[in-house]
Amino acid sequence: MSQEQARVLTRGVNCAVVQLVGRTFPGIHLQGDTFAGIWTQLADAARTLREDPGNGEALDDLDYAIEELKGFLGYYEATLSERGIRRPY
């Protein structure tokens, strides 16, 4: 195991914006349970939609996961903006 340092720019409830030493842009750190929950939602919705393309519940699950990710992205972008860091995209 290596000992690396990172700067925590902000901490939210289930995520943080962290900049690793030597990296130009910060990253988003998600709690493992949060990441696993989003992954499960997406995987389950994809499986369901393959079996039943019009399944409204699966589409709702996709929309919910997308909104969660949008929230994390907004948090990331706001953090970068507050610190005068340009976006990597």
pLDDT digits (tens, 9 = 90+) for 10-63: 999 999 999 999 999 999 999 999 999 999 999 999 999 999 999 999 999 999
Q: Which domain holds residue 31?
A: 6-82
Q: Is residue 20 part of a domain?
A: yes
- Strand, helix or coil for residue 20: strand
Q: Is residue 48 part of a domain?
A: yes
Q: Is residue 38 part of a domain?
A: yes
By residue count, the chain amounts to 89
Q: Into how many domains does the chain fold?
A: 1
In angstroms, the CA 31 to CA 37 distance is 10
Q: What is this structure's pTM?
A: 0.89
Q: Is residue 87 part of a domain?
A: no
> Using an 8 Å Cβ cutoff, are 19 and 27 in contact?
yes
Q: Which residues of 45-67 are buried (b: 16+ CB within 10 A; e: fewer)?
A: beebeeeeeeeeebeebbeebee
- Strand, helix or coil for residue 2: coil
Q: Is residue 88 part of a domain?
A: no
Q: Is residue 43 part of a domain?
A: yes
